[in-house]
Structure formats: C-alpha cells, structure tokens
Structure 1
Amino acid sequence: MTILVFGRTGQVATELSRHGGDRVRCLGRDEADLTDPGTCAAAIAGGTWEAVINAAAWTAVDAAEEQEGDALKINAGAPEAMARAASAAGIPLVHISTDYVFDGSGTAPFAPDAATAPLGAYGRTKLAGEQAVRDAGGTHAILRTSWVVSAHGKNFVKTMLRLGAERDRLTIVADQVGGPTPAADIARACLGIADQLIADPGKTGIYHFAGGPDVSWADFAREIFAQAGLSPEVADIPSSEFPTPAARPANSRMDMGTTTATFGIARPDWRAGLSDILTELGAKA
C-alpha cells in the first residue's frame, strides 16, 4: 500500500517524494484542489492507503491578512475534510502545522501543550486546521514546525544567497529567534511518524519538530554566508525596522522533547541540513 501526500511542488512535498520513493503518491492542485475540500476527501476515499500526510497549505503569511477567508478554506477546510475521510477509512493523518499558532512571547521553548494565541490571520487559520483535525476523531499527528528551508521554492536560504552575492552589506532581523528546519528532515520525520501511527494509534497527538540550535535570523544568515563562502557584512536590526503586514513571533523556539520521547526522533542539526542544501544548489564554498 501507499501513503497519500497532499502537495507535490512545495518544499516538504518535494522531499517526501524523494525520500518516500514509490511508497508515496503526491497529489498536486490539479488532482486535489484545497480550495475545494471535497476533492481532498474524495482522493482519500477513492484509494487504498496506509496513511495520509498533508504537506499542502496556504503559506503566504502577509497575504493572509487580506485574504483570510481564502487561507481558512485551505488551512482549515481542507484539513478537516482530509481528517474526516481518513478517520472514516481507519488510517492515520500526519498534518503539518506551524509555530505561528503561538504569540512568540518569552524566551522559553514552546511545548505542544502551551497556550496558543496567534498574532495574525495565517496563525489563526492554521490553528483552526489543527482543531478540525482533532475534532474529526481519527488517528493523527499534528506536527508543528518552523523556518522551513530547502533547495526548492522560495525560502530564506535562497534569498540570502541571492542578496549575499549582490550586496556588500545586509540588515537582518536579530530579535526573532527560532529553529531553521530543513524540509528533508521534516519529510523523514513525517514518514517515520506515519509508520508509527499505523502500528500504534495511541501515539495520536500534537508534536513539535524544529532544527537546532535556536538562532536569530541574522545569525542564520551569517552561517549561510560562511558555508557558501560569501562575505557581506550582516548588521543586526530589530523587527521594528523591517515592518511586514503580518506580525512575526519573536520567539519561535520549539520544545521537541515529546516528539523524541514518543517517536525516537532526535532534533536535527540545521547546520548539517544547510550544508546539504547548499551542495544541491551548487553554492557550497
């Protein structure tokens, strides 16, 4: 049997296809349109699957501020349909969520049972998706992650490589701290968690998965440049000097203890994952 993956071209979906091989079946928008949740339910009901992984979402954080209804349909309506269909089929669902469900207060890592308080529309829609998955009553793992990077799509690593080659000096936010997370590590974690849920539905719950060590965006940029052999000056700035339509959490530290204890999955070192990404991009020094 096969694991059904919602998403085909996104960062995590691309890595799921790579690491899952013939065992995964990735559906793009042409086969399962998340703006039409019924197509997601039909895809699950129409096949014989071992598990479902939802790696698709509305991820345009700033655009969600003006298009919250559209984001809600994709980030909550579609996962609800998936969860109910998976529950009816008796198979587990792994659903990827985000650190944006928290308000980013304090400096301590957020545990899975910490109080949620999204700062903006994106976080609200993702939190609604989590609630919908839980309410469906089936076997599931909600996997919150942060700062996703890879050699694919748009992300911080690729932006820094471009700007670092163009400019002598960059100003980077230094008062937001979190764990960069390579998409390849997320994909491996999702596949491992799916297998364990198949064997033990009692592991249903909310979990965190983020790379370590925790770092600011500015220090993350410095490591990207160091590994890529680039040498622009990086000047630290506060978030107030880089305003965006949607507020970003200042603290995106995630406590992975429950994930490690339950699934035996260790926190990945993002520096090693960054090296792999740069090698793939041909940007390794």
Structure 2
Amino acid sequence: MILVIGRTGQLATELGRRPGTRCLGRTEADLTDPEGCADAIRRAAPAAVINAAAWTAVDAAEEDEFGAHLANARAPAAMARACAGLGIPFVQVSTDYVFAGSGDAPHAPDASTAPLSAYGRTKLAGEAAVRAAGGPHAVLRTSWVVSAHGSNFVKTMLRLGRDRGSLRIVADQVGGPTPARDLAAACATIAQALVDAPDQSGTYHYAGAPDISWAGFARAIFETAGLACTVTDIPTADYPTPAPRPLNSRLDCRTIEAAFGLARPDWRAGLRDILHDLGEIP
C-alpha cells in the first residue's frame, strides 16, 4: 500500500483514484503538526509514502512565511525521517519556484536554486530536509498543475472566458502545464520503483510539454473549450503580485525519463480530458 499525505488537493484527488493507495486527510495528518504526520506514517506502516499536501497559497506565504515553512519544510522533514526509520521510500513534490527563472533554457535538476518568494524558499527548505533524512526518496519538481479539481488556471480561465470577451494575460512567464492525473501516475511509478531500487533516490523534474506562456495556454483553453474570448499579451510588470514569479519555469525532464521511463505528458491531451471531466466538451 502506498500512503498519500493529502486527500482533497489536485494531486491527492488523482492519487486517491489509483488502486493500492490510501489517502490521509487533514484530520489524520495535519501539516501544522509535523510529528503527528510522522506518527500517522508509522501507524500505517505502508510500502511507500507520497506527500501530496502543501501550503500552495503563493502570495499568502509572503505574509506568513512561518506557516508556509511549517507546512512545506518542517512537516516533510518529520515525514521523511519517519520513512527513513521504516526504510521505505518518501516522494516529496516540489516546484519550479525554487529557481529564480532567469534565461530561457530548461532548468536541470542539479541547476543552481535561488527562489524569489517565501513560497519558493519554504519548498526549497523542504527539499533539503528530505535529502537530509537519509532514506530512499525522490524530490519531484513540477510546474503549473491543472485538473478538474480545486482551484487552478484552467478553471479560472473557463470562468472568466464565459463572462468576458477579452482578457489580458501574462506572456513572459513560460513553463510546462502539468495535468494532475499524469503527475499522480508519475509519483506512483517512482514510489514503487524506489521500493525495489532505492539507489535511484534523487531529485527529478516532471512537467507537461510543450512549454508555453500563460497567455498561450489561455488561448489553448479557450480554443479547446470553444469559448470566444480573445487574449492580449502583457508583461509580468503589468500584473504585479505580492510574490514574484519566475519568468522561466521550463524544466529539463530528461533524467526522470532515463531513470523511470517517464516521458513528459502532452498537456494538450490532458487539457481535453480536464474539459471533458468538467462537461465543457463531449
């Protein structure tokens, strides 16, 4: 059995639909109680653990970095130590926000990190803590997760696209939209692989292809959904947010394909699945 920390988020929802998984919600594993999360893992005695829970409110983290650090660093640290003590793999999902986002080349897993935001700093601290625990592990960085569940860019664009004839969308941030269903499959594959081959522990990247800007992604959403909403490109400077965003969120995903046979998923196919699940297309 693979134990999933989280139940209602985009990734946890998809993981919970997979056979052989058990999800723990906040009442059973609360990230504000790191040692409680560790105890829940010990009680469950699973074959592997995937942490699909996190503080994901990027802008709110600027006002409460302590709270974000508790959820994104201290809780994963406690869980990773529990897994190391049990000798089982721990998969920690991380983010492109650990990079400053300069240049236009895809970031390799061993590229220098320099987070711009409190959220990025807390996620990077979580990565370091997982590695320091010393057990079999994978730090899996991803970007721009979307699904038919929760709050995400696809659902926001559908709502706005129905209400407005045009939108101004940032065009100088580029990355790979990642369908949560594909990400869940990747997490499960890695967790199972590490059971048999713990020497494959390390840091990996997994993001959808092809890379595209937020504006380009919005156009694809409207076209696929049949919404007549036009998009005007704007720079990030015209859409200020409390937390800075990396302009370059491209991730080099070659090592994960070499290690686990996981190719980058085509987000265009994932988008069609999401829109079908939402009843937007047949």
TM-score normalised according to structure 2 size: 0.99
User: Is 2:75 aligned against 1:81?
Assistant: no
User: Is 2:24 aligned against 1:27?
Assistant: yes
Q: Distance in 2 between matches of 1:228 and 1:284?
A: 6
User: Is 2:145 aligned against 1:148?
Assistant: yes
Show CA shifts across 1:189-242 (max 9, x none): 000001110010010000000000000000000000010000111000000110
Q: Select 1:187's aligned residue among 164, 184, 188.
A: 184
| CA displacement at 1:25 relative to structure 2 | 0.9
Alignment of 1:46-61 (within 5 A): 46-61=43-58
Q: Select 2:37's aligned residue among 37, 40, 44.
A: 40
Aligned residue type for 1:44: I
Q: Which runs of 5 or more residues in structure 2 are unaligned?
A: none
Show CA shifts across 1:114-144 (max 9, x none): 0000001000000000000000000000000
Show CA shifts across 1:230-281 (max 9, x none): 0111000000110000000000000000000000001100000000000000
Show CA shifts across 1:162-186 (max 9, x none): 0000001100000000000000000
User: Is 2:196 aligned against 1:199?
Assistant: yes
Q: Secondary structure at the match of 1:236?
A: strand
Q: Which runs of 5 or more residues in structure 1 are unaligned?
A: none
Q: Secondary structure at the match of 2:22?
A: strand
Q: Distance in 2 between matches of 1:186 and 1:60?
A: 19
User: Is 2:88 aligned against 1:91?
Assistant: yes
Show CA shifts across 1:92-127 (max 9, x none): 001100000000000000000000000010000000
User: Is 2:43 aligned against 1:13?
Assistant: no
Q: Distance in 1 between matches of 2:219 and 2:44?
A: 47
Aligned residue type for 1:143: L
Alignment of 1:219-234 (within 5 A): 219-234=216-231
Q: Distance in 2 between matches of 1:64 and 1:168?
A: 33
Q: Distance in 1 between matches of 2:52 and 2:64?
A: 21
Alignment of 1:95-244 (within 5 A): 95-244=92-241
Q: Select 1:282's aligned residue among 271, 274, 279.
A: 279
After TM superposition, which residue ranges in structure 1, 4 or more long, deviate above 2 angstroms? none
Aligned residue type for 2:269: A
In structure 2, the residue matched to 1:252 is: 249
| CA displacement at 1:45 relative to structure 2 | 1.0
| CA displacement at 1:74 relative to structure 2 | 0.3
Q: Secondary structure at the match of 1:141?
A: strand
Q: Distance in 2 between matches of 1:29 and 1:232?
A: 38
Q: Distance in 2 between matches of 1:168 and 1:47?
A: 51
Provide the aligned length of Structure 1 versus Structure 2. Answer: 282
Aligned residue type for 1:65: E
Percent of residue pairs identical:
67
Q: Secondary structure at the match of 1:46?
A: helix
Q: Distance in 1 between matches of 2:62 and 2:44?
A: 36
Aligned residue type for 1:9: T
Q: Distance in 2 between matches of 1:47 and 1:104?
A: 39
| CA displacement at 1:145 relative to structure 2 | 0.2
| CA displacement at 1:284 relative to structure 2 | 1.7
Aligned residue type for 1:276: D
Alpha-carbon RMSD across the aligned residues, in angstroms, is 0.6
Show CA shifts across 1:34-77 (max 9, x none): 00101111011112211000000000000000100000000000
Q: Secondary structure at the match of 1:207?
A: strand
